[in-house]
Structure 1
């Protein structure tokens, strides 16, 4: 047992030498990795972050700050998918952490499909960005449901609305 502790301590010292930076940075790195893996994010925190992103995105775009629409839209979809995945984990605790990552990916494609009304383009972009093809069928189903819902609500796709504003014609007549 003592030999095992000594090996762990030596490994930590080597990591300290290799990692560089300050001690606080090294101590927070494991938590960041957990956050990136979707493991230790509380559902209320995700919902708060979702609300902040939902409000801040359009405000920053309308103020003319750089950032565009594409990346914030994908971030919003990933956050909503992660929140949904965490809720699924609460209901079915036997599911692993992979469901949270899968739901984040599905959320990105579904939001893109609903906002842009281009489900296959959204799925192709997300698959290309993440290199994960195992959730293609859930992405197809979610994107299809998102587009049908968006069409039932009857708002214009985002890029059609922007084109109408730039041209000066009323939306829907561009």
Structure 2
């Protein structure tokens, strides 16, 4: 069974003459849609195809990773929620990337979209300068919503570059 989700025609390019918050939100949405687009039309088996040894990186793992990232920055840092990770365990903190045949895109996509929906709700209640209720997990620093948006755009952009290469390796598809 192949995935059925975002296509290039559903991805909206950010406006070029907008305010700061709208620009940040539009670029984040653009990158979210780009990752979904890179997974479109592939089977679970194809989505679990790794890059090159020894890397375990794969498209399904990237979707699961971004669900964890959305959860970490929005729920944990911005919202101050003490919620468990979706995939990470004490034994394998990178379990999001380490996929098995039992892991499906349907589950990962639903978890990712759920985290995105929750992130949107949390962000809508804050101004860009508002500090999150939780702290950075490494530094202990408090972080404002603006920084979270910028970091999320950077995180997606970096991983969308990985997704470009993974998709090309799977079926030769390139572009956008």
Instruction: Looking at secondary structure, tell me which structure has more helix per residue.
Output: 1
Larger Rg: 1
Structure with the larger strand share = 2
TM-score if structure 1 supplies the norm length? 0.27
TM-score (norm 2): 0.27
